[in-house]
Amino acid sequence: MSKANIEINMPIGNVSYDSLLGKYYQDFTEAIVHYNDCYFGEFDSNGIPMVGFGKDAHYSQIYIIQLGLIAHDLILKNINQEENLKILEKCINWLLENEEIFHGSIIWRNNFTNERYSLQSGWVSSMYQGQIISLYLRYGQLTNQLDYFTEKSLKIYSYFNFDYSQGGVKRRDERNYLWFEEYPSPKPSFVLNGFIYTLFGIIDLYRITKDDAIKDVIDECILTLEVNLEKYSLNYWSIYDQLHKELASRYYHKNIHIPLMEIMHQLTDKQIFLDYKLKWEKQLNNPFNHFIVEIMYRLRPRLLKLKKS
């Protein structure tokens, strides 16, 4: 079996508003196989994962952040605790060493281009910022350094106050709903999973601080999801973003979109999230849908191009 065909599951983790954070909202631990097999790229001499190999290798924060979240959850599962603590500390130290101050906020820049979203080197991702908050606060609780990492997280969160026009990742759509952009593209992209993972970081900060202003932002984000979910759903599959409107891969449909709907339902008790979870789950388990999706992976991009021309 090739690495690309490895079947992993990323089920629901610890979904809660408790001040004791515990494991992450989604259990990424099976994805450790991708790191063990160097699926994304090689590791540097300090054991930090990179994207690519040799002279083409570069750092991408998301793989460092998510390795840290995996190591944290494995520690809480009592799996190779000493080894995983070392991995977690390496990830935390890399993030601390590579932070940048932006008008009083802490950010991390991606020092590579992203042609798909027309992003030049130096772009910042809301999703990465949000997941660093989630990682920092969990590490703070694990190591009894919560005050220090809460202060850091508040400075990371303050970056969400900057609009796209100010060099930030905050946007409002044509109906004035609030978004934070995983990929702050010139034309809004509104990636579904990136927005939700950003929201998890904001929720984690609220769980620690109980700041009512942060709760107001959470409520706004939940409303944004409620009124826009229909844009990510076809009769046979889910959509990745609102810019390219391409079908989510099977991996994303199964391991990202469906679990995220279940997590949002557990967090909010809102029926709409359960409805989409059940709808997308039914699509995933329907063999005829798989046939349609395989065809539409090829046809839909062409149809969308014709529509724009």
Residue 1 has a pLDDT of 27
CA proximity to 241, closest of 174, 299, 152, 181: 181
Average pLDDT, integer, range 19-35? 97
Residue 290 has a pLDDT of 81
Query: 244 exposed, middle or buried (CB, 10 Å; 0-12, 13-18, 19+)?
Result: middle
pLDDT over 60 (residue 2)? no
Average predicted confidence (pLDDT) for the chain:
95
Residue 307 has a pLDDT of 67
pTM of the model: 0.95
> Which tokens hold the place of 258?
């469906």
pLDDT over 90 (residue 230)? yes
Work out the number of other CB atoms within 10 angstroms of the CB of residue 14.
Answer: 16
CA proximity to 277, closest of 16, 31, 66, 12: 12
pLDDT over 90 (residue 294)? no
How far is the CA of 121 from the CAs of 19, 60, 112, 117, 118, in angstroms? 37, 12, 4, 12, 10
What are the pLDDT digits (tens) for 258-267?
999 999 999 9
pLDDT over 80 (residue 306)? no
Strand partners, 12: 26
Q: Which residue has the higher pLDDT, 308 or 89?
A: 89
Could you give the CA distance from residue 238 to residue 258 in angstroms, rounded to a whole number? 9
What would you measure as the largest C-alpha separation in the chain, in angstroms? Answer: 57
Residue with tokens 């160097």: 38
Residue 289 has a pLDDT of 86
Q: What percent of the chain has pLDDT over 70?
A: 95
Residue 3 has a pLDDT of 44
Residue 303 has a pLDDT of 67
Strand partners, 52: 41
Could you give the CA distance from residue 36 to residue 97 in angstroms, rounded to a whole number? 24
- pLDDT band of residue 166 (cuts 50, 70, 90) is very high
What are the pLDDT digits (tens) for 98-153?
999 999 999 999 999 999 999 999 999 999 999 999 999 999 999 999 999 999 99
What are the pLDDT digits (tens) for 60-111?
999 999 999 999 999 999 999 999 999 999 999 999 999 999 999 999 999 9
Rounded to the nearest angstrom, the gap between the alpha carbon of residue 220 and the centroid of all alpha carbons in its chain is 18
> Which tokens hold the place of 285?
């388990």
Beta strands in the chain (DSSP E): 100-102, 105-107, 170-172, 178-180
Helices (H) and strands (E) counted in the chain, each on its own, are 11, 4
Work out the number of other CB atoms within 10 angstroms of the CB of residue 308.
Answer: 6
Residue 309 has a pLDDT of 60
Residue 233 has a pLDDT of 97
For CA atoms 188, 191, 197, 200, give the dihedral sign.
Answer: positive
Give the residue extent of every domain in the chain. Answer: 3-232, 233-309
**Phi and psi based region of residue 199 (left: phi greater than 0; alpha: psi -120 to 50; beta: remaining):** alpha
Residue 5 has a pLDDT of 47
